Amino acid sequence: MSAQAPVAVVTGGATGLGREIARRLHAGGHRVAIADISAEAATELAAELAAQGPDARAYTVDVGERTAVEKLYAAVVADLGSVEVLVNNAARTQARPLLEITPDELDQVMRVNLNGTFYACQVFGTAMAETGYGRIVNIASLAGQNGGTATGGHYASSKGAVLSATKVFARELAARGVTVNAVSPGPQDSPMVRELLGDGLDGLVAGIPVGRLGSMRFIADMVALLASPDAASVTGACWDANGGLHLR
């Protein structure tokens, strides 16, 4: 593949949904920057993808620190030359009874989920606006729409804030060629969901109108659509995939 292929940065891209998104964008012809707090997992995935086609690089980053996000952008541009797509997927979950969440736990979840997304939208969005083109996709959650607390009330609150941030950045950057959208998954068939719910998984599935967990591969397809040049008329949107748990 050409070195001129578009570059996509996926935060939290080494495992789970982030890994599926990185694989999908890479398969679609993007050079991929896998940014994750786990250097080992990111390096392993980058090596796997790079052996199959376009370039793939691993970057270690804690998105909760703005300076780290700035360094990530600089490193990717130094290595790959540009960034056309940003997927803000990095997130922290913690199943904790709502009234027992401590200030420190609240800060830790908000720091990654909201602050990390906000910082990345600022840093990458500014650079994209200067070039006149960009696609930003934020990973939200059903919990941020309906107030579900199975993954923690602080997680739900952070994802609700991500949805608001998506709108404000979309409004700010629209005239400069940069779209900002969100994808809001419901419960996915993922190791994280199975670990969080344990014996309660069957009960959860029984309560989903379509009677099944979602597919991470399909969520990755949704992200790829929003990340494409053809998605120029979609901004400030939230695309839902929740099995009918939240209708609007």
The count of C-alpha atoms lying within 13 angstroms of the C-alpha of 202, restricted to the half-sphere facing its C-beta, is 1
Containing H/E element for 90?
none
- Say which of 59, 73, 119, 155 is annotated catalytic: 155
Distance (Å, rounded) from C-alpha 100 to C-alpha 227?
38
Tell me, rounded to whole angstroms, the distance of Cα 43 from its chain centroid: 19
Q: At what angle do helices 216-226 and 16-27 cross, to 10 degrees?
A: 50
Query: DSSP assignment of 201-217, as one string?
Result: HHHHHHTSTTSS-B-HH
| The pair of three-digit structure tokens given for residue 80, joined into one six-digit string | 């790959």
Distance (Å, rounded) from C-alpha 57 to C-alpha 36?
11
Burial grade of 105 (CB within 10 A; 0-12, 13-18, 19 or more): middle
115 DSSP assignment: I
Active site residue 155: yes
Distance (Å, rounded) from C-alpha 18 to C-alpha 84?
17
Distance (Å, rounded) from C-alpha 37 to C-alpha 112?
11
Distance (Å, rounded) from C-alpha 206 to C-alpha 212?
8
Q: Active-site residue numbers?
A: 155
